[in-house]
Amino acid sequence: MSESYKVAILGATGAVGTELLELLESRDFPVSELKLLASPRSAGRTMPFKGENLPVEVLDENSFQGVDIVLASAGGSTSKAWASKAVAAGAVVIDNSSAFRMDASVPLVIPEVNPEAASTHRGIIANPNCTTILMAVAVWPLHQVQPVQRLVAATYQSASGAGARAMEEVKQQATAILQGETPKAEIFPYPLAFNLFPHNSKLTELGYCEEEMKMVNETRKIFGDSQIRITATCVRVPVLRAHSEAINLEFKQPFPVEQAREILSQAPGVKLVEDWQANYFPMPFEASGRDEVLVGRIRQDISHTCGLELWLSGDQIRKGAALNAVQIAELLVSKNQVRPTAAVTS
């Protein structure tokens, strides 16, 4: 016997919601019934799932009745307004927004890093920020062998981080520029096609933007180590999908490059991509649509005897968002930590 679960996707028509739908099908998640929830502007739409066209429902007070798992990806304000209602109805909410990440009572989970944290939930589990997830999957295996003392990150973030409309905007901007026209910017503050700029999230009093502080604070919470010194510079680049990051790690003792390479070649959720003769390393083009975080160009930091450098690319929509959420749901199911709606014979 195995259990099946009534699942709701909140924000089903967005880039992450669409990916959640595909992953539930491709990974054969035990779904007894699937509800697709979105705003009124999506009313009347249908989306394919296992040979059927499911209707998109408008979110309302009755949306979570009988639901076991809510995969939420509709923005922080929506999660703050509706997550507690879903929990009150008996569901576990796996939330992809920033609404609950730094709430001390809400676990912030990456299954390859801190799966045990999921069992402490009180109805809500937070999905970390995309850049944090990609970085942590690569850094955690090394941190387990020798704790990281300082981490310096520079991100190269694609349009996908701002959703499907942002990706379309970059395409339109590129077309306009190539035709000699002035590109229009609506989703981003400036044209991104053939351009780049520091991440457009709100600046804090420290001079860091919110995206950079997410990497700092979330990593400390996930690693369970408030003493790690972390700094980040986040940049939007004219790439449609998948983020890349340059990571510098400082340890107490030297960390042999070959040891780091061997550890990462066997790490869960990581694929080592290195061909030094061909100067071939992780690229967002090849990371798009893949589950693994591509890691390579691992080398000694020539400015510090205890430093390592590495480069990574990972699909922001997939492992940076939707896949991580589905993996959390799979983790809960494997631990029997979700109330099932029905039992089915396997």
User: Which positions make up the binding site for NADP(+)?
Assistant: 13-16, 41-42, 160-161, 183, 316
Residue 130 is among the residues annotated as catalytic for this protein: yes
Residues tagged in the binding site annotation for phosphate: 101
Cα–chain center distance at 324:
6
Query: Could you say which of 121, 130, 143, 209 is catalytic?
Result: 130
Q: What angle do CA 246, 104, 198 make, to 5 degrees?
A: 30
Query: Could you say which of 121, 143, 199, 243 is catalytic?
Result: 243
Residues tagged in the binding site annotation for substrate: 157, 210, 236
Residue 209 is among the residues annotated as catalytic for this protein: no
Long-range CB contacts for residues 26-32, cutoff 8 Å, separation at least 24 = 27/326, 27/330, 29/5, 29/326, 29/329, 29/330, 29/333, 30/2, 30/3, 30/4, 30/5, 30/333, 30/344, 31/4, 31/5, 31/6, 31/7, 32/4, 32/5, 32/6, 32/341, 32/342, 32/344
Residues tagged in the binding site annotation: 13-16, 41-42, 101, 157, 160-161, 183, 210, 236, 316
Strands 92-95 and 229-236: unpaired
Q: Catalytic residues, which ones?
A: 130, 243
